[in-house]
Copies of this chain bind each other. A is one copy, B any other.
Amino acid sequence: MTTRLSEDDLIARYFAPLAGPGGLGLYDDVAVMTPPEDAELVLTVDALVGGVHFFTDDPPDAIARKSLRVNLSDLAAKGAEPAGFLLALALPPDWTDDWLAAFARGLGDDVAAFRFPLLGGDTVRTPGPLTLSVTALGFVPEGDMVPRTGVEPGDRIYVSGTIGDAALGLALRLGKPEDAGWIAGLPREAADFLRSRYLEPQPRLGLRKVLRAYANGGMDVSDGLVGDLSKMLRVSDCAADVDFGRLPLSPAARDALAHAPHLLRTIATGGDDYEIIASVPERQCAAFEAGARAAGIAVTQIGVAREGRGLALHDANDAPLDFGKGSFSHF
């Protein structure tokens, strides 16, 4: 059943309750916010398209949370304090009141969990798939933003959490014939874990202060570790040696990899990790690790930056690895 609220009614019912003070109840043309003193404004936008970035039959509350979290992950990687977001929502012809209610509930969960108010938005219809565009706003103390370009030779390369879970979760969702073997061998809980890692990214906001304090460079891993790290090294004009023997893997990913060693490529180059890559000067590593531990977020040193160009990967036996372009592209 398709209900047909007007845009104003829909905003009043579902979105106005999520607005922070800067959102002016969502009845003005704009949102207004007074920046904290001596702060820099940090802005990012991510678009998500149904059938491209998520499955259109994913639970609406999970789609909502993912749309916020991919942006919160960008803010976290820069050491930024989340301040709020704007949402452009293009609804397909078959949207229903129930769908939108569940979507707004999901947004509301993360608005509360991350103290990340809705500042403004635009709701339109589309003859195409559901399309979401979230613009996230954050602040950092002046000069403290952790740039993607900041890697220095000698820096230790860290990643947060575990890598590859979401890409395996996506492979599980897609269930292609060539993956039938390892999928069949995977325990139920491992499969559930991997699926949830695809569906519900965990932005590593707990790292934002230690990143600001100790990291030279930072980036979130959204398009695959190898591709994203290569990109970060390129814009920093650095090379790095990375030991894949140290790659942090979840028990579920280890399980899948034991069944199907070729999944190392999926793990290394698949997207949707939403973990953080940080480059940290050697003298700051102990403090960085202690700070991450205090924040309850695992970080693992996987390599070292050096002068030069390119990313050199080797396995635990020091044999070189090559994943080609190494990046998943939604584009």
Task: Spell out A's residues near B (CB within 8 Å).
Answer: 6-8, 10, 24, 27-35, 39-49, 51-53, 74-75, 77-78, 80, 86-90, 119-129, 131, 133, 135, 137-138, 140, 142, 145, 147-149, 219-220, 231, 235, 329-331
Contacts and interface: CB of A to CB of B under 8 A. Distances in A.
A146 B129 CA distance: 36
A329 B87 CA distance: 19
Contact of A29 (B52, B74, B131): B74
B124 A43 contact: no
A129 B126 contact: yes
A123 to B, nearest CB: 6
A142 to B, nearest CB: 7
Contacts of A89: 47
Q: How many copies does the complex hold?
A: 2
> 6 closest A-B pairs (Cβ-Cβ)?
A128-B128, A133-B133, A47-B88, A88-B133, A7-B331, A135-B135
Contact of A49 (B29, B124, B142, B331): B124
Contact of A142 (B34, B41, B43): B34
Contacts of A32: 40-43, 140, 145
Contacts of A77: 29
Contacts of A140: 32
